[in-house]
Amino acid sequence: MTIESMTGFARASAQAGDDRIVWELKSVNGKGLDARLRLPPGFESIEQPARQALQKTFQRGNIYANLSVARLSAAPAAVTVNETLLVELATLAQRLEHDFGVAPARADGLLALRGVIEMQESILDDDARAARDAAILIVLDEALAGLTAARREEGRALKTIMLGQIDRIESLTERAAADPSRDPAAIRLRLAEQVRLLLETGAPLDETRLNAEAAYLATKADIREEIDRLRTHIASARTLLAGGGAVGRRLDFLSQEFNRESNTLCSKSNAAAITAIGLELKAVIDQFREQVQNLE
């Protein structure tokens, strides 16, 4: 399976009888799946099956689906005049003319008022409406396939970027593991120097207590557990990316674990080199997490 981005665009169109059907789909990042449909008046029956098709195809993302249907050729629409409304408007116009001296109303002006003239399109029978709706859903399936392809294409690009970031995280982890400052002899030398400086102050020191404190500090500064956990997270991230599918949430959790280990590594550091590696790790992990937010 491939991984998918949550961003993409697709358009599909077809002619069904006298209708030109066009679906436009746009997908952006989202914590869950939020499908928003925009349908022309009179196409409410399409909403539920269209929403179900979106939910069946995708698991995450804010998806905007816009349907437009244009009649290419049709019988002339029937024209009807709302005579009741026309009489009321004419009566009102006469009263305004009599009471306030306004100019008399013209017929074309009254007929131009909203609601006076109504255009009634030809009404589809049940079979024709069912055929039209079926055609609309077929075009939606084509648009969904196009959007899936667009999301997968971007997913492949994101995968390449993220694998490079994981390689960088691994390189920094191994640098920290191999840093000379972690060598026991180097730790002893640093502690000995700190003890020497304390002794030079002339302050009385309990040697037994001092040795115990030195051992405690050395243990606290040990980052072997953080290194081991980072290696485990690196392997897990590669496995998830290789397996594909909807791995966005799991990778987001993993990026939080990466960040936690890098923070601990920095806090336990007793050498400038380890601190610098930890800070660089945090920067790469932040970049990794930003990319993860784009994945389904």
The closest of 287, 19, 18, 16 to 163, measured between CA atoms, is 287
pLDDT at residue 191, rounded to an integer = 67
115: alpha, beta or left? (left if phi > 0; alpha if psi -120 to 50): left
Model confidence over 167-205: pLDDT tens digits? 999 999 999 988 877 566 666 666 666 667 766 766 666
In whole angstroms, give the CA distance from residue 92 to residue 18. 43
Cα–Cα distance for residue pair 92/99, rounded to 1 Å: 10
pLDDT at 63: 96
The pLDDT value recorded for residue 217 is 61
pTM: 0.70
pLDDT tens for each residue of 138-172: 999 999 999 999 999 999 999 999 999 999 999 99
What percent of the chain has pLDDT above 70? 83
Digit-coded pLDDT (tens) for 217-228: 666 667 888 999
Contact 222, 268 (CB under 8 A): yes
pLDDT one-digit tens code per residue, 238-278: 999 999 888 999 999 999 999 999 999 988 887 788 899 99
What is the Cα 84 distance to its own chain's centre?
A: 54
Mean pLDDT of 274-283: 93
DSSP 3: B
HEC string of 120-169?
ECCCCCHHHHHHHHHHHHHHHHHHHHHHHHHHHHHHHHHHHHHHHHHHHH
